[in-house]
Structure 1
Amino acid sequence: MQFALLIYESAGDFARRQGPDAAAYWSNWSAYSGALEGRTPLGVCLQAPETGVVLRRAGDTRQITDGPHSDSPEQLGGVIMLDMDSVEDALSWAERCPAALNGAIEVRPLQFINVSVETII
């Protein structure tokens, strides 16, 4: 069964990625990634929320908004896909995630659908 770990981090954690604490921040992630080897088909780290853009559409009209996009204390900082036997296994890995100490980890099962590009367009 496949799950997504949606990783929410504080503004302070986003800042730690490039500040004087960057080595310690990335060291924790390196150890976690190493432990996940063989269980993760994909994992990505997102840039800070202020680098994002949101598109909303109403009919033929589109609205573009620059980030950040939420008043929440945490913002989406990354996504890890996991191959696990159960939701409990996925939760145990979410609990070990470095971001769980200061942020939040949402565990969500993946849903696969068969949609061709022609169907979407």
Structure 2
Amino acid sequence: MQYLLMLYANEDGWNALSEAEQAEGIAAYGAYAEALQQAGILAGSNRLRPATSATTVRIVEGKPRVQDGPFIESKEEIGGYYLIDVADLDAAIAWAARCPGAGHGVVEVRPVWQMS
């Protein structure tokens, strides 16, 4: 079953890190992605641009309303994701706990409702 691991963190936190700390973070995420690949469960992954680059679209009175920015303003924003294919929720949670993002933010685990 596929699960989406959504990584939430304070976007300003990255800019507050030294170059050495950023390099350490990049290495940690690289190692995590490699572990997912080696396990044969990685179906997709990407880092997202800052929430300030988001565009929100909703229908109001039958017409699209477009606004710059995320849906809600919050301290933590979604910064990236991993799409994994594992046996069950317990396995997805175990992989989420290994994600570097769980150490400085939140990793939300959500099952994918595959439309086939």
Would you call these one fold, judging by a TM-score over 0.5? yes
1:39 maps to which of 13, 36, 41: 41
TM-score, normalised by the number of residues in structure 1: 0.82
> Aligned residues, how many?
113
1:72 maps to which of 54, 71, 74: 74
Q: CA deviation at 1:66?
A: 1.3
2:56 is paired with a residue whose SS is strand
Question: Which residue is equivalent to 2:97?
Answer: 95
Contact 1:16 1:22 in 2 (8 A): no
Q: How does 1:1-121 map to 2 (within 5 A)?
A: 1-15=1-15, 20=19, 21-37=21-37, 38-114=40-116
Q: CA deviation at 1:71?
A: 2.9
In structure 2, distance between residues paired with 1:67 and 1:52: 5
Give the letter aligned to residue 113 of structure 1.
M
Q: CA deviation at 1:61?
A: 1.9
In structure 1, distance between residues paired with 2:58 and 2:44: 27
Q: Unaligned regions of 5+ residues in structure 2, if any?
A: none
CA distance change for structure 1 residues 112 and 46 in 2, over 3 Å: closer, same or farther? Answer: same
4+ residue runs over 6 A deviation = none
Contact 2:56 2:70 in 1 (8 A): no
TM-score, normalised by the number of residues in structure 2: 0.85
Q: Unaligned regions of 5+ residues in structure 1, if any?
A: 115-121
CA distance change for structure 1 residues 86 and 16 in 2, over 3 Å: closer, same or farther? Answer: farther
Give the alignment's Cα RMSD to 1 decimal: 1.9
Q: Identity of aligned pairs, percent?
A: 28
Give the letter aligned to residue 87 of structure 2.
D
